[in-house]
């Protein structure tokens, strides 16, 4: 009971300390609200208002028909430019696509000569370039076929192809981006808060005060974990229900309670990692550098951005010891596919094992740093 009381009071002290740090508190609030909203809504993966220009050297009804086929919201209204303007316009990034319709294009099409039509693509705008290329080919092909036949017809395939897009039927990138950003923010803020809590104790001289009290390193570490983890878990719940489900209108297919329970286990691992980094760093700038080195691989290689199956085998195996790998797995399974306990319990167990290892390392390192103080 004495240990529990000490852990409770130390945790309350952590919460009060965080409440007095208005800058850090404001950062946490923005990360779980504005950052998630902006990142998920601004980084759309759909083709939207792509800048396009056309060099019309044919000046025929067919070329006019092709130009008028490009309209919003996929493309901006095409600009008509001359052939010498193509290279400067592409070099300065004015257009993602420039279509060059050659002279006598309509005549050659009607004569069955299959003339070439050039499409210049700025591949530095990777997402627009990849998606837009398919759109352009489909639009031009449809308009040419309709012009030649004199009517719009749909080709009937000998086999009926039925596609069923599950979990995101409209392929809306906001549905994916918002949840993934929430997972990234949970990981990032948990490491920052606990690492900063350790550094703050050292910089403010309160660590020495704790050392003269009848407290153990175990009690201090556990108090920092539960206090900071509680703040992040409450912020994550608010973000999930208010920002993601409320403002962004992303449907939650599975149990939010099960997701938050798994997030709590994930926070046990990441807050322990934050304490470990806080004991290694001596100042906040050092902590920031360590977090960058650790956080980027955790987020980039977790499977949230690029599927794990697309990564080299050695990277997949190494990332099995990373908490974010299992966090992404069960979060996607619950929130996207409505998975239950029978599906996600292996990820919870793996996270608990990883968190225990991080906690033991953090506790040992904290004891060593306390002994050196």
Q: Indicate if 27 and 64 belong to the same structural domain.
A: no
Residue 14 lies in a domain: yes
Q: Indicate if 234 and 365 belong to the same structural domain.
A: yes
Token output for 234:
């409450």
Residue pair 135/96 in contact (Cβ under 8 Å)? The answer is no
Q: Indicate if 71 and 188 belong to the same structural domain.
A: no
CATH number at 83 reads 3.40.1710.10
**DSSP-H helix ranges across the chain:** 2-20, 22-30, 36-42, 61-68, 86-91, 105-110, 126-149, 173-204, 206-211, 217-238, 256-280, 284-300, 313-318, 323-335, 341-372
Per-residue pLDDT of the chain (373 residues; tens, 9 = 90+): 567 888 888 889 888 888 888 888 899 999 999 999 888 876 666 677 889 999 999 999 999 999 999 987 889 899 999 999 999 998 888 899 999 999 999 998 888 888 888 999 988 877 778 888 888 988 888 888 888 877 655 555 566 667 777 777 777 778 888 888 999 999 999 999 999 888 887 777 676 666 667 778 888 889 999 999 999 999 999 999 999 999 888 888 889 999 999 999 999 999 999 999 988 888 888 888 888 889 888 888 888 777 788 888 898 899 999 999 999 999 999 998 888 999 999 999 999 999 999 999 999 988 887 666 5
Task: State how many domains the chain has.
Answer: 2
**pLDDT value for 307:** 79
**pLDDT value for 230:** 94
Q: Indicate if 324 and 364 belong to the same structural domain.
A: yes
Q: Indicate if 241 and 105 belong to the same structural domain.
A: no
Q: How many Å apart are CA 36 and CA 24, to the nearest integer? A: 17
Residue 156 lies in a domain: no
**pLDDT value for 43:** 64
Q: Indicate if 220 and 237 belong to the same structural domain.
A: yes
Q: How many Å apart are CA 182 and CA 165, to the nearest integer? A: 24
Q: Indicate if 211 and 114 belong to the same structural domain.
A: no
**pLDDT value for 372:** 64
Q: How many Å apart are CA 227 and CA 194, to the nearest integer? A: 9
Q: Indicate if 115 and 13 belong to the same structural domain.
A: no
Question: Of 82, 116, 149, which residue constitutes the final position of a domain?
Answer: 149
Residue pair 335/241 in contact (Cβ under 8 Å)? The answer is no
Q: Indicate if 185 and 319 belong to the same structural domain.
A: yes
Listed residue (110, 102, 100, 98) closest to 144, CA to CA: 110
What is the pTM (predicted TM-score) of this model?
A: 0.79
Residue 167 lies in a domain: no
Structural domain boundaries enclosing 78: 52-149
**pLDDT value for 280:** 87
Residue 154 lies in a domain: no
Q: Indicate if 58 and 36 belong to the same structural domain.
A: no
**pLDDT value for 371:** 64
Residue 308 lies in a domain: yes
**pLDDT value for 155:** 53
**pLDDT value for 183:** 92
Residue 155 lies in a domain: no
Residue 31 lies in a domain: yes
Q: Indicate if 93 and 31 belong to the same structural domain.
A: no
Question: Of 110, 134, 149, which residue constitutes the final position of a domain?
Answer: 149
Q: How many residues does the chain have?
A: 373
The contacts of residue 38 (CB under 8 Å, 6+ apart) are none
pLDDT single digits (tens) 82-120: 999 999 998 888 899 999 999 999 998 888 888 888 999
Q: How many Å apart are CA 260 and CA 212, to the nearest integer? A: 37
Q: How many of the other CB atoms lie within 10 Å of CB of 108?
A: 15
Q: How many Å apart are CA 357 and CA 279, to the nearest integer? A: 16
The secondary structure of 5-54 as a DSSP string is: HHHHHHHHHHHHHHHH-HHHHHHHHHIIIIIHHHHHHHS--S--SB-EEE
Q: How many Å apart are CA 293 and CA 357, to the nearest integer? A: 20
Q: How many Å apart are CA 303 and CA 234, to the nearest integer? A: 25
Residue 265 lies in a domain: yes
**pLDDT value for 207:** 67
**pLDDT value for 152:** 58
Reduced to 3 states (helix: H, G, I; strand: E, B; else coil), residue 214 is coil
Q: Indicate if 79 and 183 belong to the same structural domain.
A: no
Question: Of 149, 182, 216, which residue constitutes the final position of a domain?
Answer: 149
**pLDDT value for 153:** 55
């Amino acid at each position: 009971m004495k240990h529990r009381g000490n852990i409770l009071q130390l945790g309350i002290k952590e919460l009060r300390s965080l409440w007095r740090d208005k800058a850090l508190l404001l950062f946490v609030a923005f990360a779980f609200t504005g950052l998630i909203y902006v990142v998920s809504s601004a980084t759309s993966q759909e083709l939207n208002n792509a800048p396009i220009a056309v060099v019309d050297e044919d000046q025929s009804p067919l070329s006019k028909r092709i130009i008028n086929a490009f309209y919003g919201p996929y493309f901006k209204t095409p600009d008509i430019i001359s052939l010498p303007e193509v290279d400067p316009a592409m070099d300065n990034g004015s257009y993602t696509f420039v279509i060059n319709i050659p002279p006598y294009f309509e005549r050659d099409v009607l004569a069955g000569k299959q003339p070439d039509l050039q499409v210049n693509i700025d591949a530095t705008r990777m997402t627009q370039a990849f998606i837009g290329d398919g759109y352009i080919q489909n639009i031009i092909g449809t308009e040419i076929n309709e012009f030649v036949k004199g009517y719009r017809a749909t080709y009937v395939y000998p086999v009926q192809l039925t596609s069923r897009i599950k979990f995101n039927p409209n392929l809306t990138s906001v549905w994916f981006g918002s949840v993934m950003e929430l997972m990234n923010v949970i990981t990032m803020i948990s490491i920052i808060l606990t690492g900063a809590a350790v550094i703050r104790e050292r910089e403010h001289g309160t660590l020495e005060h704790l050392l003269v009290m009848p407290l153990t390193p175990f009690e201090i570490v556990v108090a920092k974990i539960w206090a900071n983890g509680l703040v992040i878990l409450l912020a994550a719940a608010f973000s999930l229900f208010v920002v993601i489900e409320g403002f962004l209108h992303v449907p939650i297919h599975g149990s939010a309670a099960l997701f938050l329970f798994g997030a709590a286990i994930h926070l046990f691992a990441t807050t322990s990692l934050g304490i470990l980094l806080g004991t290694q760093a001596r100042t906040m700038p050092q902590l920031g550098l360590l977090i960058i080195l650790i956080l980027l691989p955790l987020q980039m290689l977790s499977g949230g951005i690029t599927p794990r199956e697309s990564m080299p085998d050695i990277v997949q195996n190494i990332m099995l010891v990373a908490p974010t790998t299992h966090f992404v797995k069960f979060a996607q399974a619950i929130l996207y596919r409505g998975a239950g306990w029978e599906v996600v319990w292996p990820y919870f167990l793996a996270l608990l094992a990883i968190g225990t290892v991080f906690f033991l390392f953090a506790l040992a390192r904290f004891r060593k740093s306390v002994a050196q103080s």
